């Protein structure tokens, strides 16, 4: 049974719920709705309200098409956030709780804060957890001639949420000087942008990147999803995005021939959001070259041009099984023994034969699992290792691998062993809709993981009473996280990185 609890913010009072061991506030606006003439503009300040605003129900996510793991939405009024506060005894007099800001994944086009109940993460280490919604896809990363700072609107929304945290989080018992930015998949990619963006400086103090994808470079064909061609770096020059956005708008008939930039943008701001979503998958690459993101993180991070702070990052043991299982095997386009050589040749060219010798089909139960291992090693393990090495040159860095092959599947993959696949660790950090309770051994792992994360938010290193030691990555150490083992693993050997560092 819940009781109401009220917190007074600078914009007005909000009424949340006090539940079993924690307080929950949902759907708090942190910026004005980006609708009408505010579409594709920097987020505007939130408008104050009178009385007490209800914050007991989740707000809708940003506009997005339906996916197997996310519902559709058409509501552009989406700049809200959730706050979860543990009821445990507060820290010493005058000290606030560490703060975790959670950036969800979803490929840049899907997802929202309401899909992640963080009360276990909050309770494990006494942290305040903030989960913002921000614009996605075509509303976040669109560019067009005359559009100021195009391609960065989602990033700017997140920066507005970070400024809200600095301004308001003490009212919830949080410490604005101990803020960890934590994100999975696309959320981790956005953290890489925050590490480089001048406007994010001083707004957070630690970073945790869970399963970051393609931060530093390109991805060979088929290694994200079989059938998908090679992917360029996840960052796009602003001028290139402007040309692409103009061509897309003209192709869809959203602009008219001869429109000047001002007239074209006026037309575009009147296009129904359902029509814009037809092109949303094409606009997921943040643009660099403008004020918000002057330089590509793929260039800036290895050069040490980023906000210095402790960083944790890692992958799951079987990242690519999610993508091969969902988008190939279950979609009726399985990887076959006959098609395996073609995938290798199209992905790796002249190196295909050598890779085939290291990943022969007779070592795997199915061709799909063979390709998933190649994709895990090349598209996830190698880039994360390289990113970790680049960061460790300049700041304290810790690497992990989530390795529970009995983890609950984020999306059911009947007949395909998901293992410790992409997003598999999220059920250990959050209560997810429809997910079954974790068994006892997995609950123990979840508790330790959440205490590692909260300790990192609090102190800048994953260390605490009762937690196994976790040496820094400067020693080459990678921490394996599994119910039966928390400790070092030979990540480089496990993922054949000696081979992959020589490959395309």
Q: Which tokens sit at 352? A: 């295909």
Position 332 in a domain: yes
User: With 80 as the cut, is the pLDDT of residue 504 above it?
Assistant: yes
Q: Which tokens sit at 494? A: 């496990």
User: With 70 as the cut, is the pLDDT of residue 37 above it?
Assistant: yes
Residue 140 near residue 43 (C-beta atoms within 8 A): no
Q: Could you give the count of Cα atoms lying within 13 Å of 349 in the half-sphere of its Cβ?
A: 5
In three-state secondary structure terms, 3 is: strand
Sign for the pseudo-dihedral over CA of 132, 138, 142, 146: negative
* C-alpha distance from residue 109 to each of 73, 102, 139, 155, 455 (Å): 11, 17, 9, 13, 31
Confidence of residue 183 (pLDDT cuts 50, 70, 90): very high
Looking at 4-108, list the stretches that DSSP marks H as alpha helix, in order from N- to C-terminal side: none
The Cα–Cα gap between 470 and 473 comes to: 9
The mean pLDDT value for 244-262 works out to: 96
In three-state secondary structure terms, 139 is: helix
pLDDT in tens, 129-182: 999 999 999 999 999 999 999 999 999 999 999 999 999 999 999 999 999 999
| Helix 238-251 with 261-268: angle, nearest 10 deg | 60
Position 129 in a domain: yes
> What domain range is 298 assigned to?
3-249+267-500
pLDDT in tens, 186-213: 999 999 999 999 999 999 999 999 999 9
Q: What is the pTM of this model?
A: 0.97
Sign for the pseudo-dihedral over CA of 471, 477, 481, 485: negative
Q: Could you give the maximum distance between any two Cα atoms of the chain, in Å?
A: 69
Position 441 scores a pLDDT of 87
Position 261 in a domain: no
Q: What is the DSSP letter of 203?
A: S
CA angle 492, 190, 45 (to 5 degrees): 160
Residues ≥6 apart with Cβ < 8 Å to 486: 445, 448, 468, 479, 480
Looking at 301-381, list the stretches that DSSP marks H as alpha helix, in order from N- to C-terminal side: 321-324, 340-348, 352-358, 367-375
Q: What percent of the chain has pLDDT over 90?
A: 93
Confidence of residue 69 (pLDDT cuts 50, 70, 90): low
Pairing mode, strands 22-29 and 80-86? antiparallel
Q: Which tokens sit at 434? A: 């429809």
Position 91 scores a pLDDT of 62
Position 90 scores a pLDDT of 62
Position 258 in a domain: no
CA 412 to chain centroid:
21
pLDDT in tens, 333-359: 999 999 999 999 999 999 999 999 999
Position 260 in a domain: no
Position 256 in a domain: no
Position 262 in a domain: no
CA 212 to chain centroid:
7
The Cα–Cα gap between 130 and 26 comes to: 10
Residue 58 near residue 83 (C-beta atoms within 8 A): no
Question: What is the rounded average pLDDT for all residues in the chain?
Answer: 96
Position 295 in a domain: yes
Q: How many domains does the chain have?
A: 1
Which residue numbers are catalytic?
185, 319, 422
Q: Which long-range contacts (CB under 8 A, 24 or more apart) does 294-297 make?
A: 294/198, 295/196, 296/233, 296/235, 297/192, 297/193, 297/195, 297/196, 297/215, 297/235
CATH code of 193's domain: 3.40.50.1820
């Amino acid at each position: 049974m819940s009781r109401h609890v009220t917190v007074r913010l600078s914009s007005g009072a909000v009424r949340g719920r006090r539940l079993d061991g924690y307080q929950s506030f949902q759907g708090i606006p942190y910026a004005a709705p980006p609708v009408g003439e505010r579409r594709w503009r920097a987020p505007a300040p939130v408008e104050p309200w009178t009385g007490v605003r209800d914050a007991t129900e989740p707000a809708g996510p940003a506009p997005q098409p339906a996916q197997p793991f996310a519902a559709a939405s058409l509501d552009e009024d989406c700049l809200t956030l959730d706050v979860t506060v543990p009821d445990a005894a507060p820290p010493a007099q005058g000290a606030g709780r560490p703060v975790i800001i959670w950036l969800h994944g979803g490929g840049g086009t899907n997802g929202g804060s309401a899909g992640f109940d963080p009360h276990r993460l909050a309770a494990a280490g006494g942290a305040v957890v903030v989960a913002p919604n921000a614009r996605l896809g075509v509303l976040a990363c669109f560019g067009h001639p005359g559009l100021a700072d195009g391609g960065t609107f989602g990033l700017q929304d997140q920066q507005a949420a970070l400024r809200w945290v600095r301004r308001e989080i003490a009212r919830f018992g949080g410490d604005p000087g101990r803020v960890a930015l934590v994100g999975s998949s696309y959320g981790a990619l956005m953290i890489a942008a925050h590490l480089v963006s001048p406007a994010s400086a001083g707004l957070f103090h630690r970073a945790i990147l869970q399963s970051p994808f393609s931060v530093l470079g390109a991805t060979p064909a088929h290694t994200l999803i079989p059938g998908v061609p090679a992917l360029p770096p996840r960052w796009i020059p602003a001028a290139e995005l402007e040309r692409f956005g103009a061509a897309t708008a003209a192709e869809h008939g959203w602009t008219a021939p001869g429109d000047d930039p001002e007239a074209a943008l006026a037309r575009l701001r009147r296009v129904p959001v359902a029509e814009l979503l037809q092109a949303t998958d094409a606009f997921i690459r943040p643009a660099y070259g403008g004020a918000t993101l002057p330089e590509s993180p793929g260039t800036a991070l290895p050069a040490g041009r980023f906000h210095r702070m402790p960083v944790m990052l890692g992958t799951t043991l079987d990242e690519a099984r999610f993508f091969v299982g969902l988008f190939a095997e279950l979609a009726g386009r399985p990887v076959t023994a006959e098609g395996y050589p073609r995938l290798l040749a199209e992905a790796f060219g002249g190196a295909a034969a050598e890779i085939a010798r290291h990943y022969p089909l007779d070592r795997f139960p199915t061709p799909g699992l063979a390709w998933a291992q190649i994709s895990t090693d090349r598209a996830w393990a190698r880039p994360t290792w390289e990113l970790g090495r680049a960061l460790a040159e300049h700041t304290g860095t810790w690497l992990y691998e989530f390795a529970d092959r009995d983890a609950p599947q984020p999306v059911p993959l009947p007949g395909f062993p998901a293992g410790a696949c992409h997003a598999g660790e999220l059920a250990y950090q959050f209560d997810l809709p429809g997910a079954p309770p974790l068994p006892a051994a997995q609950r123990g792992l979840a508790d330790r993981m959440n205490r590692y994360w909260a300790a990192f938010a609090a102190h800048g290193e994953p260390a605490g009473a009762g937690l196994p030691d976790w040496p820094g990555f400067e020693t080459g150490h990678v921490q394996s996280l599994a119910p039966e083992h928390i400790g070092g693993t030979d990540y480089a050997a496990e993922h054949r990185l000696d081979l992959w560092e020589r490959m395309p």
